[in-house]
Structure 1
Amino acid sequence: MTTAYSFSSQLYIDGHRTDGDSEASLVVRNPATEELIAEVPQSSLTDVRRAVEAARRAFDEGPWPRLKPAERAAVLLRMAEEMERRLPDLVAVNIAEAGSVRPLAESLQTRVPVAHLRDMAERVMPAFAWERPMQPTVAPGIGISQGVLRREAFGVCALISAYNFPFFLSMMKVIPALAAGCTAVLKPAPATPLESLLIGDFADAAGLPPGVLNIVTGDIEAGRELTTHPMVDLVSFTGSDTVGRTVYAQAAASLKKVVLELGGKSASIVRADADLDGAVRSALAGITTHAGQGCSLLTRTLVHESVHDELVARLSAGLAAVRVGDPADPATTMGPLISEAQRDKVEKLIRVGEEEGARIVHGGRRPAGLDRGHFMEPTLFTGVDNGMTIARTEFFGPVGVVIPFATDEEAVRIANDSPYGLAAAVWSADTVAAHGIASRIRAGGVTINGGSAGVNPRAAFGGYKQSGLGREWGEFGLDEYLQTKTVSWAAR
């Protein structure tokens, strides 16, 4: 199929583009039109092993882990420059393969990860304590013990990302791994491999040494090979908590370090004194952003009973104004789900919600007139008890639930009554009270009255409970890819 943008459809192993040794291929389709975008090689197990072996050689024998942080930072900045030059390609590919509307494609999907890359190279790496002295300690009868604490690259990393934010999620792993001096094998989701394969072009343009970054494709078998291969030291995975448990178990046999960024069922607490305009805008975003395909989206709105009906009315009106359609159309405000299978899952959960007694006040169906593409109406449930399936299960689709509460204590209890703990929000004119509530919510990130603008690279992203292990972004993400070594000696 002819396209108006360019992308790389080959694997990237040991600094070279290759079709691999398998005759199988992955078919990439536009989720809005179901048209073929590309066919890319399906990595064989031999391809994956070659990539791991290349990463191992590059770590054990190559220059990358032994470069000074400033030298690695210079390469990362060159990668950022090349990404900025190719932003039109990244945006176009993202709209086509992930189904993002253009404003999302031009911001969180593409520009934000490039900004994170620049932040790592320009702010984090120069200021990071790569080595610091230990306070000398007197050991009676022995002497004075002194030394240094060194932070060193963890080793070979398997980076496995998800389909919803292909470039963003891949870069949130690639950035800290390379900054730390690690080498890596990146495996994007099979539905959205194109943006991640492009990263090989950026690596070449920046002069990244061969084998430092390798990019393969595949699904279950390729993932299993990466999580069990004896040459892999660390596994970073983004995806569902169900698959995350499998990854954790597979890596446990060889005691690999595991970083997991998993699901969420994030709660937004709206107090009686809240700015309802802001709270409603936030709830709308939680339901409709990327058709609800985001792990940290706020999909449980907990609202004080005194303003429940008003919030529901405003939120329903906002959802009615959402224009669902092809994200290539500038008038579209919500695009498709990634696949027919994902839409089927969302529809099944909607039916479960109705069966359990919840009430649909907006949506719940496929949009009329959209016969091609994996579209769903944005959907809102009321009459929801937090024990219902739809209040506890991640839809990963454009569905939100509204749950009333009477007191702050009840709101905190409901918010924490979840297997997940990725994100949360509090809306209140009383910021002291809001801060107190935020401190009691068991989630990795809590915003008050909308939080700060953008995705701040100085923040730590990650979850409590079944939302994952470890943190991403900035120095917190870098720390996950480093070992701590003590080098000590006695002064006599």
Structure 2
Amino acid sequence: MTTSRFDPQAELSDDVRSRFYIGGHWVLPNSKETASLVSPTTEKSFLSVPLADRRDVDDAVRAARKAFDTGPWPLMSAAERSDYLRRLSGAVASRMQLLSRLWTAEVGAPVWFADLFTPTATAMLEYYAELSLSFPFKEHRQTRGGHARVLRQPVGVTALIAPWNAQLPILAYKLSAALAAGCTVVVKAPPETPLDALVLAECAHEVDLPPGVLNVITADADRGAHLVANVAVDKVSFTGSTATGKVIAKTCADRLARVTLELGGKSAAIILEDAELEPTLASLSPYTMPFSGQICFAQTRILVPRNREQEIVEAYSAVIGGLNVGDPWDETTQIGPLANRRQFDRVLRYIDVGRSEGARLATGGKSCERFERGYFVEPTIFSGVTPDMTIAREEIFGPVVTVTAYDDVDHAIALANDSDFGLSGTVFTTDVERGYDVARQLKTGNVSVNGLEMSPNVPFGGFKQSGVGREGGPEGLSAFLEDQAIYLPSEAQPSKLA
């Protein structure tokens, strides 16, 4: 196995390695506390980064508050902010290779996966730059006494908290919409993957984004809680675990702060009776355990007709068993390591629970013993899984997929909906309209027929414990806006109120 090819000293600036970005400046942290970044392939530390204390958090919030209350950003026209977003997209594009490499270095995303999804960042920036030009930030309505002008105003200072597994793409969803809305932001980067957000700060500095509009700190959960509780923060946008999301929701509820939550998933893929097996598995397999299953929308529950269960389990096991597990820096690797020791131990515990509860192991089921080091777990499939089993109900966040048999379509829909989560889902069939009919009965935020797709102009988010609110599309922009109605007398001319 080759070792990590990432050299932080050569590829990252001193600012990114050792400072925070607050108020338009690179500043040294108040705290001496650091976090060690550990390669999931070698299990060795390759960089120590500073962690924020409460003073750093408060400094970042004050900078964002000042930029919103007295700065030009929220008062700019949509066209002016759109221009900044396009320039920011260009700066990000110039660092695309670096940002892709960071994903592999920090958490072991295979290079093919990182190269495929890193451009999400520029896609989101470009989408919201374009949407800004047509979005109805102002609207006139006739009233009984005259006219009303409905304004969609930026909500204010927003805290953006994205998870370690896909820091850049998820942060891009939030940041693009927040900036397009006219908000100022504080980004809390996670200790596991702090570098992506700091490189974005370099891009913002390069394009002269007004001071305080974007502030980036690296902080642990305790400092994150301090950020969420800050009364100067008007909105929190969080992506992460359901448990943490519930705590954030309670904190925001106490002071009626606005909040968007994109949380866990336990998504079901329904293979209908008429589905052709080969094209179905070719389309489904990449999304059952992408990035070793450490993606919220992974299709981790496969529901199959009972009379085809053995056929599908054998064919799917052959596909998964043939995946190349190895060094994420190798372009031929399809499954890399888990991100860290915590995930590694967690996934192996779930596999043990699956066995103890009576699920049948079709393939995988243990750590990859051929590697001397690294957090590698074999791609694992359990069959004979019933909906009451732990592995069918809880989000494992690893390369573990369950197969459950159903009796008819109504039973399949009931099984899919028998979950605390409702984030994603897929339906496979030769009859697309039938697939649509099944899809619309699923209690989940996103469903794809005969594949899986996400697009910048389509809302993403979940039902039930998978979250509150949506990101992406016009809905994602609306999440960072407040509606204000101004009533005007009849003598005021709507045409002159723009």
TM-score above 0.5, yes or no: yes
Give the CA deviation at 1:432: 2.1
SS in 2 for 1:90: helix
Tell me, yes or no, if structure 1 residue 55 matches structure 2 residue 61.
no
Report what 1:111 is aligned to: 119
After TM superposition, the structure 1 = structure 2 runs for residues 62-211 of structure 1, keeping only pairs within 5 Å, are 62-108=71-117, 110-122=118-130, 124-134=131-141, 136-138=142-144, 144-211=145-212
SS in 2 for 1:440: coil
After TM superposition, the structure 1 = structure 2 runs for residues 41-440 of structure 1, keeping only pairs within 5 Å, are 41-108=50-117, 110-122=118-130, 124-134=131-141, 136-138=142-144, 144-440=145-441
Give the CA deviation at 1:112: 1.5
After TM superposition, the structure 1 = structure 2 runs for residues 437-456 of structure 1, keeping only pairs within 5 Å, are 437-452=438-453, 455-456=454-455
Q: For the residues of structure 1 that align with 2:57 and 2:264, how far apart are their CA atoms? A: 27
SS in 1 for 2:237: strand
Q: For the residues of structure 2 that align with 1:300 and 1:377, how far apart are their CA atoms? A: 17
Q: What RMSD in Å do the two structures reach over aligned CA positions?
A: 1.3
> Counterpart amino acid of 1:5?
E
Report what 1:486 is aligned to: 485
| Aligned partners of 2:112 and 2:331 also within 8 Å | no
Give the CA deviation at 1:332: 1.1
Q: For the residues of structure 2 that align with 1:328 and 1:243, how far apart are their CA atoms? A: 32
* CA displacement, residues 191-250 of structure 1 (integer Å, 9 cap, x when unaligned): 111111111101011110111110011112211111100100000111010111111112
> Counterpart amino acid of 1:125?
S
Give the CA deviation at 1:282: 4.0
Q: 1:30 aligns with which of 35, 39, 45?
A: 39
* CA displacement, residues 387-440 of structure 1 (integer Å, 9 cap, x when unaligned): 111000000000000001111100000000000000111111122221111111
Q: For the residues of structure 1 that align with 2:284 and 2:397, how far apart are their CA atoms? A: 15
- Greater CA drift, 150-159 or 86-95: 86-95
TM-score, normalized by length of structure 1?
Answer: 0.96
SS in 2 for 1:107: helix
Q: For the residues of structure 2 that align with 1:190 and 1:274, how far apart are their CA atoms? A: 44
> Counterpart amino acid of 2:343?
Q
* CA displacement, residues 135-158 of structure 1 (integer Å, 9 cap, x when unaligned): x233xxxxx231111111000001
Q: Which runs of 5+ in 1 are unaligned?
A: 139-143
> Counterpart amino acid of 2:25?
H
Q: For the residues of structure 2 that align with 1:277 and 1:180, how far apart are their CA atoms? A: 45
| Aligned partners of 1:5 and 1:93 also within 8 Å | no
| Aligned partners of 1:98 and 1:165 also within 8 Å | no
| Aligned partners of 2:107 and 2:340 also within 8 Å | no
> Counterpart amino acid of 1:18?
V
Taking a change above 3 Å as real, the CA distance of residues 451 and 92 of structure 1, as seen in their structure-2 partners, is: closer
SS in 2 for 1:157: strand
Tell me, yes or no, if structure 1 residue 477 matches structure 2 residue 476.
yes
SS in 2 for 1:323: coil
SS in 2 for 1:243: helix
| Aligned partners of 1:283 and 1:299 also within 8 Å | no
> Counterpart amino acid of 2:143?
T
Report what 1:141 is aligned to: none
**Displacement over 3 Å in runs of 4+:** 1-4
